[in-house]
A = this chain, B = another copy of it.
């Protein structure tokens, strides 16, 4: 058990700069110069070093590098739920930009658990990520943690968040307007009894799209009946709403004596769940009940009938967020924190248009 570094022959762990230096018979510093292509190194020596690097399949240790340089090339991405296709697309687009710029991503999801949120942020912190993209809903403890980061000067970009406490760059889409337009669309089709599904009132109030729903109704002299705002059970937390949630919500609506004639769903999956429930009850879409989704997931164009929905530019938000974060990290931008808001767009499909022929 010699204490010396492994001699050739042994199945060494990771070779280090020093190993290379020895083989190439140069100083470690010179190897470093070759690797980083910094400073002058004679072609001769460079070649020798390169050969040693190739031979040992040497990869510089990013940990040591970061420890020395006091900066990492790792960005933390905090998402509510990776199974949510919105999150997935966001993550994908963020990563794409990061990768192009030589960064890697630490991805964590909170799954609606405060513990997980804390654990994730802690891990980001411990690993000294260069910056963070947060796309989760605000929570008290989460905001506190983020503020600690901010105090340490860590760049943060929030996606789809309210302008809360944290003084950070923000990227959003105008969900309020999107929902507003969707409701006006329904009203213009003659609907008066419009429901919102996907979030029960307490949680819904935190969603801009829900506000847009309420405001549009109000503007047209309609009321948002408590009965017609239905979401998952109160205690299930502020999660992404799913197919099953939409299905159940619709079922509940169908038991009411006064049923709504149109539905704005929190997202496309909720909408699809609702469509499924409606159909089971023998209702025709859009003739008996019109349904509007939110997000325009790829699938929305392929449902039966195709789903009217509010499109938000997900990938664009991700790309923009990543770009803004990198600007901060690399010090290209300083000072006042910026806000970027993208427009949503109503995409009208057959789930709301009263078709000429009696479909379904």
Interfacial residues, chain A to chain B (CB-CB below 8 A): 11, 13-14, 57, 59-64, 66-67, 70, 72, 74, 81-83, 85, 88-89, 91-92, 95-96, 99, 104-109, 111, 116, 119, 122-123, 125-128, 148, 151-153, 242-244, 247, 269, 272-273, 275-276, 279, 298-299, 301-304, 360
CB-contact partner of A272 in B57, B107, B302, under 8 A: B302
Whether the Cβ atoms of A243 and B125 lie closer than 8 Å is no
A243 to B301 CA separation, bound complex (whole angstroms): 10
Residue of B nearest to A273 (CB): B302
Given contacts A62-B126, A243-B298, contact A91 B85 (CB under 8 A): no
Question: When A11-B153, A13-B152, A243-B299 are in contact, do A62 and B108 touch as well, CB less than 8 Å?
Answer: no
Given the interface pairs A272-B302, A302-B272, the reply to whether A88 lies near B83 with Cβ below 8 Å is yes
Chain B's closest residue to A151 (CB) is: B11
Report how far A108 CA is from B103 CA in the complex, Å: 11
B-side contacts of A106, CB under 8 Å: 104-106
Query: For residue A274, which residue of chain B has the nearest CB?
Result: B302
Contact B88 A82, beta carbon cutoff 8 Å? yes
Q: Which residue of B lies closest to A73 (CB)?
A: B123
Inter-subunit contact B99/A119 (CB<8 Å): yes
Sorted nearest first, the 5 A-B pairs with minimum C-beta distance are A62-B126, A304-B304, A276-B302, A107-B107, A104-B123
Whether B63 and A67, one on each chain, are in contact in the complex, defined by CB atoms closer than 8 angstroms, is yes
Interface hub of A81, A96, A299 (most chain B Cβ within 10 A): A299
Contact present for B126 and A59 (CB under 8 Å) = yes
Q: Indicate which residue in B126, B152, B298 contacts A60 across the interface (CB closer than 8 Å).
A: B126
Residues of B within 8 A of A128 (CB): 14, 61-63
| A11 surroundings in chain B (CB, below 8 A) | 151, 153
Alpha-carbon distance between A272 and B298 when the two chains are bound, in angstroms: 11
Residues of chain B contacted by A148 (CB below 8 angstroms): 57
A155 to chain B: closest CB distance in Å?
14
Supply 8 further A-B pairs (C-beta < 8 A) apart from A243-B302, A276-B301.
A59-B125, A60-B126, A61-B128, A83-B85, A105-B107, A107-B107, A303-B304, A360-B360
